[in-house]
Amino acid sequence: MKFNGQVCSFDDNALYWELHIPIPPAVFEKLLKEAKDKRVVCTLNENFSFHCAMLPKVTFHYILLNREICKKLNLHLNDNVEVELVKDESKYGMPLSEEMEEVFFSDPEGSDLFHQLTPGKQRTLIHVINKYKSSQLRIEKSFVILEHLKNRKGALDFKGLNEDFKNFKNRL
């Protein structure tokens, strides 16, 4: 569904993480019938797409814009933007790197534990991996995540995971 939106803020002293695009109620209601989990792919100005959720605020729903998106598209508060939202058909609600997919394949036990996590925790971990530009780092971090899950019998502890990342780096 396409609509023309405006970049808004939750506060007059907007920082980048407060910028968002409100979704018209009719668009939200129609999309909710297709995307019950509220996961969508958002395309802005017909040239930049990203996976996201239709997030709730007291009286409306919105798409959150992060600093990277605003910078890439040169978006600022009160800018008008063309928005297209479609149901996210991907398995995880975001792209999975080839490296992480290969690590899943090479470590079935770790993969099983990863897939027992909630979809939100899975997306968080995928995001952690996707932020690295280096293929080698994506592979290493993926292995650390699966080892972390195996050592903790599937329980995810983000503080512990950060320690595991540091310990792995120090061993190199």
Q: Has residue 61 got a pLDDT over 70?
A: yes
> pLDDT of 39-53, one tens digit each?
999 999 999 999 999
> pLDDT of 85-144, one tens digit each?
999 999 998 999 999 999 999 999 999 999 999 999 999 999 999 999 999 999 999 999
Q: Does domain 2-87 have CATH number 3.40.50.1000?
A: no
pLDDT at 172: 64
- Mean pLDDT throughout 150-166? 95
> 131 — phi, psi (to 5°)?
-75, -15
Q: Which residue has the higher pLDDT, 171 or 141?
A: 141
Q: Which residue has the higher pLDDT, 20 or 170?
A: 20
pLDDT at 15: 53
- Closest listed residue to residue 119, CA positions, set 144, 147, 150, 156: 156
- For residue 93, what are the contacts with CB-CB under 8 A and spacing of at least 6? 37, 39, 51, 53, 119, 123
Q: Where are the domains of the chain?
A: 2-87, 98-171
Q: How far apart are the first and last CA of the chain?
A: 49
Rounded to 10 degrees, the C-alpha dihedral 2/72/121/116 comes to 70
> pLDDT of 62-82, one tens digit each?
999 988 899 999 999 999 999
pLDDT at 159: 95
Q: Has residue 163 got a pLDDT over 60?
A: yes
Q: Which residue has the higher pLDDT, 172 or 161?
A: 161
